A = this chain, B = another copy of it.
Amino acid sequence: MQFDKNAIENLESRYRAALINSVSGFKPANLIGTANPQGETNLAVMSSVVHLGSHPPLLAMVVRPGGDERHTLANLLASGEYTINHINSDIYRQAHQTAARYPAKVSEFSATGLQEQWLEGFSAPFVALAEVKMAMQLRQHMPLEINGTHLVIGEIIHLELPDNAVRSDGSLNLPAAGTVALSGLDEYLTAVALARLSYAKPDLPLREISEESE
């Protein structure tokens, strides 16, 4: 099946949204926790978190200033703080339900039954049942004029991980943490490792890195 620029432009809008939201490949499935200056909490699924650098430890995300993401953006700009929580296979249905348009006064935490967890001295809530949790400090905010989205760059200032998912070299075993992936707008998936491959060098065959028992 092929689409050129005109064919994409002429697709029915929901079909185009479903298609174009799928073509980047697998997406990370995260819940973003924030609070407004009154301490009212908000929780939103975000599939756009992307690694920016490890020193300093920076993650970026693309936020659409509509619907639920509007509150996320307003809250994190006001407080300079937010949390990133991995969605796992025990909570993906509640996570997806956070996208419903609840009245402004209703927290997605209480509406979906996902419990809040707090870190002393940090203003944004974590998802208690998430296995991988990060406290983020806002470092840069760039509105992207090309389509009205916003690039939000934050630094990881606190990190919680399940012991059994951290390998001896520092890499995470995401399936062991229960972390799920997203595809398109609505599909949640678990993952199965094919292989870890050694650092590539010219004229040397790749080795498989075997899983250690921690």
Contact = CB atoms under 8 A, between A and B. Distances in A.
Interface of A: 1-5, 8-9, 11, 13-30, 47-60, 62, 84, 86, 89, 92-93, 96-102, 106, 111, 132, 134, 139-140, 142, 144, 146-147, 149, 151, 153, 155-163, 166-167, 169-172, 174-175, 179-181, 183-202, 204, 206, 209
Which 8 residue pairs are nearest across A and B when measured between Cβ atoms? Answer: A25-B28, A15-B170, A20-B54, A18-B170, A22-B172, A26-B181, A19-B170, A100-B200
A58 B160 contact: no
B171 A132 contact: no
Contact of A5 (B93, B106, B158): B158
| Identical subunits present | 2
A186 B209 contact: yes
Nearest to A101: B202
B172 A184 contact: yes
Given A24-B51, A174-B26, A193 B189 contact: yes
Given A2-B158, A24-B51, A188 B192 contact: no
A21 B59 CA distance: 9
A27 B26 contact: yes
A208 B192 CA distance: 22
Contacts of A132: 23, 25
6 contacts: A1-B166, A20-B156, A47-B51, A96-B197, A102-B202, A172-B183
A149 B188 contact: no
A57 to B, nearest CB: 5
B8 A57 contact: yes
A19 to B, nearest CB: 4
